[in-house]
Amino acid sequence: MKILITGGCGFIGSNIAIFLKKRLKKANIFTLDNLIRKGSKLNKERLLKNSIKNFKFDINNQKKILHLKKFDLVIDCCAEPAIEASRKNPDIVFNTNLIGTFNVLKKCIKDNSDLIFLSSSRVYSIANLRNIKKNFNFKKEIKIKEKINENFETTLPSSLYGFTKLASEKLIKEMFFNRKMKYLINRFGVVAGPWQFGKQDQGFVPLWIARHLFMKRLSYIGFGGHGNQIRDVIHIDDLCEIILKQIKNFNKIKNITFNIGGGKKNSISLKNLTLKCRKITGNEIKINRVSKTSQFDIPYYVTDNKKVEKYYGWRPKKNIDQIVKDIYQWLIKNKKVKKYFK
């Protein structure tokens, strides 16, 4: 089996590539990445150590994509995921997330390849997600009750990033429908683990740990600046495990959309994440409060994993404490990554 992973030098793509290389002994794994994003060159070094070749060019280059060798499976991890980039650089978001996906689909059709598409929980309506906790006093900790399943509202505005992911999903279904080709769509929430170079609006878990370890500034941003926003978090290893299960069961389970995340047991607020970071690093830093809330921010997101559990018997194995520990140990062993967490 020949597998191409787009965005393969990013956090998720590189981890999937190395994981599959070790677990699928007969598979030939290749990645495609333009090496522009932060940390991608370090991840390329990891790929080379595992004998994984990267094709260095942009996913917008349809001609080059179509001229690549034939692949049996494409795992599309390529995206511009920063929500704030939707406002600052809409062209990059649109071209990477939507035009790039279109090019990938043309390649799949040409080769009759199967497709696993990494979508996002950001396809869901911001307004509806905010209404879950509409009357909540954000000075207090949020109780975790509601979980978001695949039928949650998607018709109202989210962000340009969310729109491009949802549009890509629809494009996949449209282009594959009459060709009887196989695809899977995975809507992931917050993913965390080693080799993730976090920013405030994405990859906040390694960012929080690194800033504590290296004694850098942090801020609780939005909803009064109290740090009570809730997110569920999935370890990158658990994400890789479900991808492997999907590959092995593609002939039986296909053309379905899944929500996949850490779930209720792996949900945490920024305030409680701060406590865990203080404990594991032994450092306490000042955390500023920024009351103003971004138009893209949501107070609460917890994944309902019932559907993916029903089809694959999959549940996340690594809890929040293990996620924090694994990232901390990675940072300790790789001090050269300190510059990425300024």
Question: 316-334 pLDDT, tens per residue?
Answer: 999 999 999 999 999 999 9
Query: Which residues 6+ apart lie within 8 Å of 323 measured at CB?
Result: 192, 193, 205, 233, 235, 266
DSSP string, 314-333: ------HHHHHHHHHHHHHH
Q: Which fold has domain 2-341?
A: Rossmann fold (3.40.50)
Question: 50-97 pLDDT, tens per residue?
Answer: 999 999 999 999 999 999 999 999 999 998 877 766 677 788 889 999
Q: Which one is predicted more confidently, 38 or 331?
A: 331
Radius of gyration for the alpha carbons in the chain, expressed in angstroms and rounded: 19
What is the pLDDT at residue 90?
Answer: 87
What is the pLDDT at residue 39?
Answer: 87
What is the pLDDT at residue 202?
Answer: 66
Is there a contact between 69 and 47 (Cβ–Cβ < 8 Å)?
Answer: no
Q: Is the pLDDT of residue 262 over 90?
A: yes
Least confident segment among 106-110, 240-244, 296-300 = 296-300
What is the pLDDT at residue 137?
Answer: 64
Q: Is the pLDDT of residue 131 over 90?
A: no
When pLDDT is cut at 50, 70 and 90, the band that residue 168 belongs to is very high
When pLDDT is cut at 50, 70 and 90, the band that residue 335 belongs to is confident
CA distance 191 to 159: 19
Q: Is the pLDDT of residue 342 over 80?
A: no
- The average confidence (pLDDT) of the chain is 93
List of long-range contacts for 131-136, beta carbons under 8 Å, 24+ apart = 132/299, 132/300, 133/299, 133/300, 136/299
Mean pLDDT to the nearest integer, 235-257: 98
Least confident segment among 22-31, 128-137, 191-200 = 128-137
When pLDDT is cut at 50, 70 and 90, the band that residue 133 belongs to is low
Tell me the domain boundaries of the chain. 2-341
Classify strands 256-260 and 218-221 as parallel, antiparallel or unpaired: unpaired
CA distance 55 to 19: 19
What is the pLDDT at residue 198?
Answer: 72
3-class SS of residue 313:
coil
Question: 112-125 pLDDT, tens per residue?
Answer: 999 999 999 999 99
CA distance 72 to 33: 19
Q: The whole model's pTM is what?
A: 0.95
What is the pLDDT at residue 139?
Answer: 67
What is the pLDDT at residue 314?
Answer: 98
What is the pLDDT at residue 80?
Answer: 84
Measuring CA to CA, which residue among 51, 19, 12, 2 is closest to residue 33?
Answer: 12
When pLDDT is cut at 50, 70 and 90, the band that residue 295 belongs to is confident
3-class SS of residue 336:
helix
CA distance 80 to 341: 19
Is there a contact between 23 and 244 (Cβ–Cβ < 8 Å)?
Answer: yes
When pLDDT is cut at 50, 70 and 90, the band that residue 275 belongs to is very high
3-class SS of residue 290:
strand
Residues β-bridged to residue 289: 220
Q: Where are the alpha helices (DSSP H) in the chain?
A: 11-23, 40-49, 62-66, 85-88, 90-94, 100-111, 126-132, 160-177, 204-213, 236-248, 270-281, 306-312, 320-333
Query: What's CA 223's distance to the chain center, in Å?
Result: 23
